[in-house]
Structure 1
Amino acid sequence: MSNPESYVRHLGGETGHRGFFGGTASKTRVVLLAVFIGGGMVGMVMGLGLPALLVAVAGVGITMLTTARTHRGTVLERRRKRARARARRRLGTDEFLPYEVGAWDQLQEAISQGTKTEKRAAERTALKMRANPDGSDGMGWLQYASNMPGIAWHAPIGEQPYLSVAFSVSGQLRGMETAAALTRAANAWGKFLARRAAPSSLIRDVQTLTRVLPPDSARQQQWVKTRLETVQDNWTAAQRESFEAQKLSYDEVIRKSSADAMVQRHYVVVSWPLDQQFTDAATKFGHGRDAWRALMADQILATERGLNDAKMGDVRALTAKQTTALMLHQQNPYLPIDLTRTVDPLQAGLRSHDEFSAHVVEDVDPTALIMGDDGPVSPSVTWWHRTAAIHGQNLAVAGRSPLWCLDLLIGRELTFVRSVSFHLHLVPAGQAKAKARADVVRDLAGVMADQQKGRLVSDDSATRMSAAQRRSADLAAGSHHHGVDWIGFITISAPTRDDLAQASRQLEEACATGLGIERLDWQDSFQSAASGTTWPIGRGLRPASPTLTSRAINRLAGRTEKEALS
């Protein structure tokens, strides 16, 4: 028998790497404290005396209060969110209109030739019209041909450009599995990540995405339709009545089996940063963008083999149309997730607007028809979305199995449509080990200082130290383990505001009671951008800056020799 403890791992308790002075205080607090303390010292030296001291003390006190963490975040964070929402409404960027050439030309004509009122209205509408929604800002395609893997090219403002490819997987487990099978699956996934965390790997980010949605009974209905007998002219009235009763019985079976049921669709998104290492490797395949595509074709095949080795089931790279269809479905769940015939990869957004706590999408339901003035039309629908982040410091410190998120994926009490995504930034072992050791030393020094001064050691200090010690032990020499920075996101969807509010409460309760997530960080005031964190495009995690030593080693490594084969 397998030991169930063999696949239990500890998560939670980490609040990021330690600062220079120890602890995990936010950068905002450190900067403000430095400003007030430094300003007070300078003021005292310049002879300002008591007023400078009072201002410095008051500033330090206000900083400590406004940056203190609570179960609803800090005061400064809440004020920043409200200010951001007001600024977006004032600028008109809280709404999104998909870019259309004809509409854009009309707006430009109104701006240049219209009256003052028309110019003002056209300018405000032009601010709303963009090529991409906020969640996929700066996204294009390196390759979007039919029947070929879609390679998305991202250049978000203020971030490093990268390429991403989405893979559809059927998952590692099917039905009832033994603990040994669960352990093998977890180890296989760990090996997949570890092999791509080495410094020589071009991959740096991996996103897992699960879409939870109601089942589509179209295939079952088609199966029933092809299996039923055709109506015969020589049937008696009793036979016809029996036939109709049989059809109703099949419809009832399909309806009851689909009621309150949810199915999961699983995806893995892999990202390649466009850094010097990538362009250097691409030169071995030729010149220009064709070399990039050739390199990516090799990388995609290697990733598919890796996912197959990780027991991910049926693995296939999504085309650009399939990736865009998934993004559109996540914005409007009435759009079939596999419908690609009418999809344009360059149109990945639907008309929407932001409220403080919701991303509201306005579209139509193509699966239904109503009678309009000009005949049958698809009815208008509205979908409300809200996204929350899962941070490591908000997890209760406990041993967790690979199935710790199961309640979030198939929980019976969660009957709303949702997307669950985890972003993993792979950190080479050397860099991760250096940070873990530094964290252990600083935490241990803080604990020893408290003990020597006769103070009680706080639970937070002990928790941080134990978490850092576990990381250091996991990265011991010969373990073949690498480091990872991670964050999780959940996007919930509902057709009305009230349904979204109820779904939010249900999600918070399920996370607090079943998953040990003490607090969900709702991404309010920028929900439209936050929706992109659960789209299959690798958005949502800004990795920690590499250490000075790591940057120096990378510089010393340089580029490969021109004569080298790889």
Structure 2
Amino acid sequence: MSVDTTRGGVSRVIGGESGHRSFFGGTHSRGRVIAFVAAFLAAVILTPLFGIWGLLIALLVGGGGFLLTQRTHRGSILDRRTRRTRWAQRLKDGTDRFEPYTAAQWDERTREYQEARDSAAKRAAWKQLSALRATPDGADGMGWLHSAPNEPGIAWHAPVGEPNYLSVTFTVTGQMSGVESSSVMRRAAEGWGMFLASRAAPTSLVGDVQMLTRVLPADSTPHEAWVADAQDPTAPLEAKKSYEQVLRIAGGDAMVQRHFVTVSWPITAAFIDAAKKYGPGRDGWRGLMQQEIASTVRGLIDARVGQVETLSARRLGAVMLHQQNPSRPIDQVAGVNPAALGLPSHDEFSAHVVDGIDPSTGKPVEWWHRTAAIRAENLAVGARGQLWLLDLLIGADIHFVRSLAFHVHLVPNGEARESARRDLLRDRAAAIEDAEKGRLANDVTGANMSAAARRDADLAHGSPHHGGTWVGYVTISETSRSELMKASRSLEETCSTGLGIERLEWLDSYQSAASGTTWPIGRGLGSPTPSLGTRLARALAGTSEKESL
């Protein structure tokens, strides 16, 4: 991304470009590529056999695939059909509900399933059994490498169908507080960029970095406790009531922010090889992670993100439980079991509904959550400064609890430069083809070519910059279905008018799993498939020699 520091702060041009180019040029979806390949094979096989009818069938396959995968502001027909099919399957299997696993409940429901006589009873018993799971959908396959109290918690993730990785979460106070000069803002941006660049080097073991901001109502309890200890016993009753009124007015609509940074280490051959030098088995993993955590803390301090503190397993669990049940204080560690981080819940098509208890009253509460993705192709192309998300964080029109997370997958300079040049070459070829055939220039091709050219310039030989892919997620929380509907509309309006986000991609039909993308556990961004050249280069690099330190 190009950097422009001529206007005080730092601005970067983002948006428009959705990913690397496909074989057919442009950024076609996987479904469209499959449809085009199927049409080509149909033409090759059926035309010699059936003549014009075979060619007609191939054209229908290609045209149908094009229409089914055509993007609109509500997604493509194929996307909508996929969501409906997924939701119907979840209802059938009973995975739309979650209940924390207990051995007693499992044995009881297993017995009920075995004793069921007819098919309807068996289906009902199976759905009850399927609801019992060890972890909620948003943290599928999550365990712990190290969960000792008052020590950095190292989460071990083994999600189904995805590579395993370790993650550690750090809480930070933020780069800026109040009004800061443009030079402070510039140094802060440069510091954060250097932090990411240092973790993207080929020798680094870090894979992803997640930045999370939790926006929640202000807690007046510390102020009330301070007043109880510091007030003059002889103070007039009117003065005490006046201060209580100040707290009530000031905290009525006040929202505060809590910032977290989650760093992920994929468990690759390089990681395992490096861990062997710190000890056998899992002890070596823990020894390596202790050094990686210390290095990350130093890097975050150098990046000017404020005070840095590593979360223990119980503190991370408290954050996750708070995000499921915002009535629970975010720092309430009492009663947290790192091995049981899910609350009973069920899904609706567009909501993740959690049942919890309000600790202050002891009464049951119900929270409705909805998550949307923010992708590059849905952003208007333009230069954006460091504060471009300010309306989403402190907007006057949105008063609901929310979490905003951005995930960055780090790509070494060489691999990113190869991808940028390959994309630029294909975009230029498409532009030349349009010109030779007398067609008007394609706006999408022009925007993609401009973005690829900026990436190629940033990643020129000798540049300290590295590459990356990113995605953003926002989760909103309300206490009822109607309030969640209103909050969804308010969020869409804020994003479209103030942020240039042309479309929020609501992750409906699997909202419980989508909630995990804004939990501080590094979920939500898959690693892109490396090219053949990249895989060959990694194979040639191998691992370290046994005799080396």
TM-score class, shorter: over 0.9
Which runs of structure 2 are paired with 1:113-512 in the superposition (5 Å)? 113=115, 121-230=124-233, 243-368=236-361, 378-512=362-496
Which stretch of the first structure deviates more once superposed, 36-45 or 535-544? 36-45
SS at match of 2:524: coil
Equivalent-residue separation in structure 2 for 1:37 and 1:282 (angstroms): 49
Deviation at 1:451, TM superposition (A): 1.0
Deviation at 1:41, TM superposition (A): 2.3
Residue number in structure 1 paired with 2:537: 553
Deviation at 1:119, TM superposition (A): 5.5
Residue number in structure 2 paired with 1:375: none
Deviation at 1:411, TM superposition (A): 1.0
CA contact (8 A) 1:12 1:393 kept: yes
CA contact (8 A) 2:35 2:66 kept: no
CA contact (8 A) 2:9 2:386 kept: no
Structure 1 counterpart of 2:548, one-letter code: A
Residue number in structure 1 paired with 2:74: 72
CA contact (8 A) 2:134 2:340 kept: yes
Deviations 1:66-86 (A, max 9, x none): 111111111110111011111
Larger Rg: 1
Equivalent-residue separation in structure 2 for 1:390 and 1:489 (angstroms): 6
Structure 2 counterpart of 1:510, one-letter code: T
Equivalent-residue separation in structure 1 for 2:75 and 2:320 (angstroms): 30
Equivalent-residue separation in structure 1 for 2:84 and 2:8 (angstroms): 46
Residue number in structure 2 paired with 1:531: 515
Structure 1 counterpart of 2:280, one-letter code: H
CA contact (8 A) 1:386 1:493 kept: yes
Equivalent-residue separation in structure 1 for 2:19 and 2:318 (angstroms): 36
Q: 5+ unaligned residues in a row in structure 2: which ranges?
A: none
CA contact (8 A) 2:8 2:186 kept: no
Structure 2 counterpart of 1:505, one-letter code: R
CA contact (8 A) 1:172 1:185 kept: yes
TM-score of the pair, normalised by structure 2: 0.97
CA contact (8 A) 2:9 2:182 kept: no
- Count of equivalent residues: 544
SS at match of 2:347: strand
SS at match of 2:404: strand
Deviation at 1:6, TM superposition (A): 6.2
Residue number in structure 2 paired with 1:4: 7
Matched, 1:13 2:13: no
Deviation at 1:261, TM superposition (A): 1.0
Equivalent-residue separation in structure 2 for 1:549 and 1:31 (angstroms): 23
Structure 2 counterpart of 1:525, one-letter code: S
Deviation at 1:107, TM superposition (A): 1.8
Q: 5+ unaligned residues in a row in structure 1: which ranges?
A: 232-241, 369-377
Q: Superposition RMSD on alpha carbons, in Å?
A: 1.4
SS at match of 2:432: helix
Deviation at 1:505, TM superposition (A): 0.6
Deviation at 1:114, TM superposition (A): 6.2
Deviation at 1:245, TM superposition (A): 2.0
Q: Percent identity?
A: 52
Equivalent-residue separation in structure 2 for 1:298 and 1:450 (angstroms): 54
Q: Which runs of 4+ in 1 moved over 3 A?
A: 111-122
SS at match of 1:285: coil
CA contact (8 A) 1:110 1:118 kept: no
Deviation at 1:104, TM superposition (A): 1.7
Structure 2 counterpart of 1:89, one-letter code: L
TM-score of the pair, normalised by structure 1: 0.94
Equivalent-residue separation in structure 1 for 2:52 and 2:435 (angstroms): 35
Structure 1 counterpart of 2:456, one-letter code: S
Matched, 1:40 2:30: no
Structure 2 counterpart of 1:196, one-letter code: R
Matched, 1:24 2:27: yes
